[in-house]
Every structure is written in structure tokens, then in C-alpha cells.
Amino acid sequence: MTLQTLAAQLEALIGRERDPLPNLANASALIFHSLEGLNWAGFYLYKGGELVLGPFQGKPACVRIALERGVCGAAARQRRTLVVDDVHAFAGHIACDAASKSELVVPLIHDGRLLGVLDVDSPMLARFSQTDVQALQELCRVLVLSCDWPVALSSTGRG
């Protein structure tokens, strides 16, 4: 599967399903098994002012991440995609898996509300290209628009 078809493949998997949980689960599996060189792909959902582990593929992960910590927290706080070529050079990096060397995080935002983040890790330095960024941002756009997100998921709305 090419990166250009990733969002289309997700749209086919989602079909008419509007529940975020199965859609996030399928999206994490699709990403993990479609992109080479990953050791983790999944979602953290914004709840109660922090990021809480959601559906993922890979080794067990950190359950809660404060917005002041790690690449996920920074991407959520700044509301922008972050690509880190060497996570060990990123101040405050959270090492859930010591094998991770690079990371890409895309915030999920709908109508100005922070819903969570997509987090993708690799055991290779500088794994993520601009093509990866564009493909995963498009996939996240599809997810955000295809689900009925609970209002309580982003209770404070501003992170």
C-alpha cells in the first residue's frame, strides 16, 4: 500500500461507523502494518487536561501523558505536527520503549477542540519524511471527520 492510499483505505475500513473507538483501533492497525520501520503506532485521547492511552499497536505504552511532557504533550499543547529525528535529543522525551529513536505526532483537532494525538514511533533515526507527515495528517483528517466525538473528550477545549 502506498502512503497516498492510506487515507482511502481507512475510509473503506470506517465505512459508516461513527464510533471513535473501533475507528481508532483500525487506524492504528492500518498504520502499523502499512508503514515499514515502526515499533509503535497509536492514539492518545485528550481527557481531563491530559493525554490518555487509546487504541494502539506495539509494546505496552505509557498510560497518561501531561501536556508539559514529551513529544505527544508538546504536539498537543502547540496544536501542530511534530517530527523528531532523534528522540534522545528532545528535551523531556518520554521513553516508553527504549528502542524508539524517532517520532511523529499529529494532533487531532475538530472545530477548535483538541481530541488527542496520533503517535508513531520508529527504532530508526530520522525515519519520517514529509510524505509520511502529509499521509498521516490526511489520515487524521479522515478520522476526525468520520467520528462522533464525545464532548467530554475535550472538556477544557484548549489544552
pLDDT in tens, 17-66: 999 999 999 999 999 999 999 999 999 999 999 999 999 999 999 999 99
Q: Which amino acid is at 148?
A: D
Distance separating alpha carbons of residues 125 and 128, to the nearest angstrom? 9
pLDDT in tens, 64-83: 999 999 999 999 999 999 99
Residue owning grid cell 475535550: 154
Q: What is the pTM of this model?
A: 0.92
Burial class of residue 96, CB neighbours in 10 A (0-12, 13-18, 19+): buried
Residues 6+ apart with CB under 8 A from 2: none
pLDDT in tens, 108-154: 999 999 999 999 999 999 999 999 999 999 999 999 999 999 876 65
Round the average pLDDT of the chain to a whole number and report it: 92
CA 73 to chain centre: 11
